[in-house]
Structure 1
């Protein structure tokens, strides 16, 4: 994973730690940290300036039977929660809300069976709602 200066195209930092490719990235609302979900099934919260990995949690910590890891993620507008979209071998999807400080599951939501991968997640600013989309 790399951080780039889009104004001049220079690479600012390389983030090392993932043992496989990164699927999703989302910045925290304050821009200091970002979360990644990877093919190694480990989700990480990184400090954008120092390059250090602040926290790791697995998709299986969100839902024990969901072994594919997180397919999508999004920070809440206040930065306290990350929503993670998971899918298992049976194509049953689940959205897990993770406390950023503790890495603990706050809540799980089951999606309609066989609707596909939870491809994108977004929180609605100012209101406690979330939107999901899926790929069949």
Structure 2
């Protein structure tokens, strides 16, 4: 009995519009992140690396312990890969700036629509035949009461 109530609650939660909207946003955000990463890695970073002397940011690292060969086996070097960290910071900044621009444009469009809606209020509808007739009856009754 508790499991079915649990499943019903979960189904109600999962089918809410906000959850579905959030899932779509996460999927689109992941795809957008890949596009931005490609722009950063393939278009922005090569000229930037060229400007600072042909350095590839992903290759920047600090060797804490060099690689060694012991008993015929190579033990990998211990490195602090700060270049990869810098690359991720550039990715984040570009994604954040792109989202900022998108939201700014959307906000301006929404505000413009609101201003247009407020600036041109629709005139009230013309009275119906029934309303005109009732108004005339009311006016006649007022005149009759005033004459008495």
TM-score interval, normalised by the smaller of the two chains: under 0.3
Greater Cα radius of gyration, structure 1 or 2: 2
Between Structure 1 and Structure 2, the one with more helix by share is 2
Output the TM-score relative to the length of structure 1: 0.19
